[in-house]
Amino acid sequence: MQDREDSRDGYGRMLTLIGGAVAGTFCVAALLPAIKRRAYRVTTILKKDHRLVSGLFWTLQKTTNPHIRKSVFTQIQTQLETHAQAEEEVFYPALRHLYTATAEQQVDEANREHQSIKEQCHRIAATDPDSYEFMSQVNQLKETVEHHVEEEESEMFRLAHNNMSSDELEHLGRRLHDRKLQIKQRIAA
C-alpha cells in the first residue's frame, strides 16, 4: 500500500515537473522573437564585438610566448579593422543622418579614434612580439580602445536608442552583420 502511494507521489511530482517544463518552454518561445530582434540590434552586435576584443586583450596580456602573442594580436587587429570598417560604413552614417550637432561631433571624434587605433595596430604588427616595446604598445592600444568603447557605448549608443526605432536599429544591425561577413570573406581570400 505504501509503495503504491509513494509511486503516486513520484508520478505527481513527475507531472508537476513536466508541466513546469512545458510552461517554461511556452514562456521562452513567446519571448524568442523579442530576444532575436534584440540580438540583431546594431548596438547589441557592436557590444559583442567590444567584449570579444576585450577578451582577446586579456588573453594577450596573460601569455609570454611570442608566437601566441603574435597570433592573438593578429586576431585583435583583424577584429578591430573589421569592426571599424563596418561601423564607418553602416553605423556612423546612420548617426550622422540624425542631423544633430551632437551626432556630427561624436561621429567625427569616433572616426579620428578609429584612425589612431589603425595606426597603433600597424606599429604593433611591425614590432617584435617578444619585446617589452610590443607589450607596452599593446597596453596603450588597449587603453585607446577602452576609451573609444566607453564613449561609443555611453554616448553614441544612447543617441541611437533615443532617436531611432527598434526596427531601424534592427535594420542597421542586419546591414552591419552582412557587411562584417563580406569584410571577413575578403580578408580570408
- pLDDT tens readout for residues 118-175: 999 999 999 999 999 999 999 999 999 999 999 999 999 999 999 999 999 999 999 9
pLDDT at residue 97, as a whole number:
92
pLDDT tens digits, one per residue of 46-58: 999 999 999 999 9
pLDDT single digits (tens) 34-82? 444 456 899 999 999 999 999 999 999 999 999 999 999 999 999 999 9
Q: Is the pTM of this model over 0.85?
A: no
In SS3 terms, the chain reads as CHHHHHHHHHHHHHHHHHHHHHHHHHHHHHHHHHHHHHHCCHHHHHHHHHHHHHHHHHHHHHCCCHHHHHHHHHHHHHHHHHHHHHHHHHHHHHHHCCCCHHHHHHHHHHHHHHHHHHHHHHHHHCCCCCCHHHHHHHHHHHHHHHHHHHHHHHHHHHHHHHHCCHHHHHHHHHHHHHHHHHHHHHHHC
pLDDT band at 28 (very low <50, low <70, confident <90, very high): very low
Higher-confidence position of 11 and 120: 120
Estimate to the nearest angstrom the gap between the alpha carbon of 115 and the chain centroid.
20
Q: Which CATH architecture has domain 40-188?
A: Up-down Bundle (1.20)
Residue 187: pLDDT band (50, 70, 90) is: confident
